[in-house]
Every structure is written in C-alpha cells, then in structure tokens.
Chain A
Amino acid sequence: MTDSAELDRFLAGVERRAYLQARFAVQEEAAALDVVQDAMIKLVTNYRERLPGEWPLLFQRILQNTIKDYYRRQKVKNAWQVALSTLGLGDRHDGDEDTVEYDPPGEEDDDPAVRLAQRQRLAIIEKCLHALPLRQRQAFLLRYWEGMDTAQAAEAMGCTEGSVKTHCSRAVAALGKALASYGIEL
C-alpha cells in the first residue's frame, strides 16, 4: 500500500503549479482551490496504488479534466443565468473576476518602480494566458511549462498529438501577438 506521506510529498511538489493552472483557467481563487483539491482527491481515492512514477501524468490528466468539468458547469450555470435575467429574475455577476495579488519579490527589487513594473508585467502575462481558449492554454502550459512532450500532453488532454501541436502553435502566435500589443517582448 502506498504511503500517504509519499503522496503528500508528491502533491506538495505540484500543488502550486496546479493552482496557477487552475487559476489561469477559472480566474477565481476559491474555485481554483476547489479544482485543485478535486484533482487531489480523485488521485488519492482512485490512483494511490499506482506507481509513483505514473502520478505526474495522471494528476495532470485529472486536473485538465476537472478544469473542463468546471467549464461545463459554468456553461450550464451561465445559460440559466441568461435565461433568468431575460425574465428579470436571478442575478448576473459580470466582471467579477479577481486578479491574484502576488507576494512582493525579494530584497533585490527594493525599487518601488521596478516592483510595480514587475507586478504589471505578471498581471499582463496572466491576462494574456486567461484570454487564450481553454485547449490552447492547456496545450501551451503542458508543453512549455510542465515540460511534457507532445505524446504526454496529448494523453493528459485526451486528444491526438496533432491537436496538441496545432493548439500549441496557435497559442504561441496568440500570446506573442497579445504581449506585443502591451509592448512586452519575451
């Protein structure tokens, strides 16, 4: 039987990146925490007996599916809200997305102007990522941030390698264009 401490160590190592991925997708702190915990619970209850080497890919797959489920629920929820708001019932929460307040950087960035510029840059990066369609964002993050190869990303996303390549190239083009519009070059 797998040691809970081992699972704990694994999840502790991936939780922050998972949180940010969820955060980019759902744009709400509480919902992002829920998504990450959902994924953790599914891994713990269904796959704890698997070899630890399989956990990273499994966890990514679960996380991506949980984010997709969240989107589906939101779609239904929004449909109801639109229907109710046209009848004059219910409440619509437009523009209730909140942005992450990142902790200030270390002592090397004491200059307030530098700190402000960095914060703005990070906020723009988050905004550009959120503006991408779900599948493009998933493909981009899995390939270039999680360091997966095309086959692994395809498995995590439940699609073909060709789709991953297409999504990635579109995401790179869109991000480059969006960042350029803010005058940022990476």
Chain B
Amino acid sequence: MKKATFLPESFASHLDALVQRLPARAVDRLEHRRKQAIYHPEAALRQQGSLSLGRRWLHQHRIMAGSLLLALLLGGLSAYHRNADHQRPVGEVDAALLGGELPPGAFTNPQFVQWLQEHAQQ
C-alpha cells in the first residue's frame, strides 16, 4: 500500500492561493480596519467589535456574577426562614414537654397516646 505523503511547503502554497482568493468584501473591510487602526486608533477602539465586546463581556460578567450572588443570597435567606419556621413548633413542643407534669416517657407509651386521643375527641 502506498504511504500518503504530506509536504508542508505544498500545503503553504495552497494557503497562498487562499490569500489570493479572499473575497473582495473581506479585502475592503481589512483595508478600512487598517486605515482606522493607523489614523484613528481611539475611534477604532471605541467602535471595534472584539475590544468593546471584551468590555461588554466584562460588564455582562459583572451583572451575571452580581445576579448569581443575589440569587444565592435570596435562596439562602429563604431556606433559613423555612428552616426556622419548621423548628419553632418543635421547640414549642419540647418546651411543653419539659414544662408539663407528665414524664416525657409517657408520650412514647402507645396506650397513653390512645387514651389521650380518645379524651381529646370527647
């Protein structure tokens, strides 16, 4: 089987062909960008896509990072409140158990719980 050969120099000559065949539109734009870069670099920087895009990106990142932090903060606060609401009745039950005359073990007795339910209904 014949082994494929690859000559970088030959490849480079194809790239030269690409340069010669660049679309006229791209060539015109390049020329315009070059004139801007040489004679009006500040204006070019203001107008330019990628640099201003970079700045826009920085701005967008700040906004996104800020939004993300805010969302995390709100989520944390909401979770904390939900947890606190959930813990309050447990705390009240604990206080009632400790403050009452009945021993805490009574509530684990199934017969006592049944008696309590019957009398509560009455």
A residues lining the B interface (CB < 8 Å): 4, 7-8, 11-12, 15-17, 19-20, 29-31, 33-38, 40-41, 44-45, 70, 73, 76-77, 80, 84, 100-105, 121-122, 125-126, 140-141, 143-145, 172, 175-177, 179-180, 185-186
We find that the number of chain B residues with CB closer than 8 angstroms to chain A is: 42
Q: What DSSP secondary structure best describes chain A's contact surface? A: helix
CB-based contact A44/B37 at 8 Å: yes
CB-based contact B11/A73 at 8 Å: no
Question: How many A-B contacts are there with CB distance less than 8 Å?
Answer: 132
CB-based contact B30/A15 at 8 Å: yes
Interface string of B39-58 (1 = CB under 8 A from A): 10100110011110110010
User: Which of B6, B19, B34, B39 lies in contact with A20, CB distance below 8 A?
Assistant: B19
Q: Nearest-CB distance from B17 to chain A (Å)?
A: 7
CB-based contact B48/A34 at 8 Å: yes
B residues lining the A interface (CB < 8 Å): 4-12, 14-15, 17-19, 21-24, 26-27, 29-31, 33-39, 41, 44-45, 48-51, 53-54, 57, 61, 64
From A34, A101, A126, A180, residue with most partner B Cβ within 10 Å:
A34
